[in-house]
Amino acid sequence: MEASMKADDYHELVRRIGQEVLLSKAFEYRQKNWHYIVGQRQISLLSGNTRFGIGFAIKYLTIALVDLDLPLANGTMPKRYRGYDGTCVIQISPMVIQTWAKSGFKDSAWHYTPTWVNGQIQLACYHPVYYGGPNRWSPPEALRLGGMASQYRDEATAVREIRQCIEHYGTYSATFSKRIRCSEIVRQLKRYGADEPSAKMWIAVYAGK
């Protein structure tokens, strides 16, 4: 396989498409991610590029919900415009968020899912992207990393899916924030994540808010 695209190129693509798609001034691009903040709630579109993702040309997009006045999984307090992948209370794939909204917000379409289960990244939380960049395309039938697989044949397909992810983020962020109230977070954590140490902490935190 030819060299994968540099991380900065990928972030620049996400920034540029976001500027075209996210027309509301409520969306801000800071620290290589998009953010929508209302009060103390931050809904971020994180464009991940771990060192493993760079090496295998797998990147990903995830929507992360953070309440800035409540602690993260590691007990620290979050800061505005930071990306908290894997340490925030809720993450959802930007493709799945549309499915969930169109279902009438049914648990059968989406519910709280930990980002990792048995060493596998959960596709309910992440949308994988294979983006090799211009003139760098020689993808195999499927690229897989930690449970994420991406099956693209050309750059145009990858760019189209990145655009769709950003469009869904722009369309559903406000609704997502309103639907996932503190009481709903507690309900989902109790039903779908009660056995996780971090979930137990968050249940106590959100139940008291």
For 170-195, the pLDDT digits (tens) are: 999 999 999 999 999 999 999 999 88
- Note whether 148 and 124 are within 8 A (CB): no
**Is 181 a member of any domain?**
no
Task: Tally the domains of the chain.
Answer: 1
| Predicted confidence band of residue 143 (pLDDT cuts 50, 70, 90) | very low
Task: Output the average pLDDT for the chain.
Answer: 83
For the cut 80, the answer to whether the pLDDT of residue 46 exceeds it is yes
208 falls within a domain: no
Q: What is the pLDDT of residue 124?
A: 94
pTM of the entire predicted model: 0.87
Q: Is residue 195 part of a domain?
A: no
The DSSP string of 26-93 is: TEEEETTEEEEEETTEEEEEEEE--HHHHHTTEEEEEEEEEETTS--TTSPPP-TT---TTTSSEEE-
Residue 31 structural domain? 7-176
pLDDT tens across 74-116, in order? 889 999 999 999 899 999 999 999 999 999 999 999 999 999 8
On whether residue 172 sits in a domain, the answer given is yes
204 assigned to some structural domain:
no
Asked if residue 1 belongs to a domain, the reply is: no
Report if residue 62 sits inside a domain.
yes
Task: Examine residue 17 and state whether it is found in any structural domain, yes or no.
Answer: yes
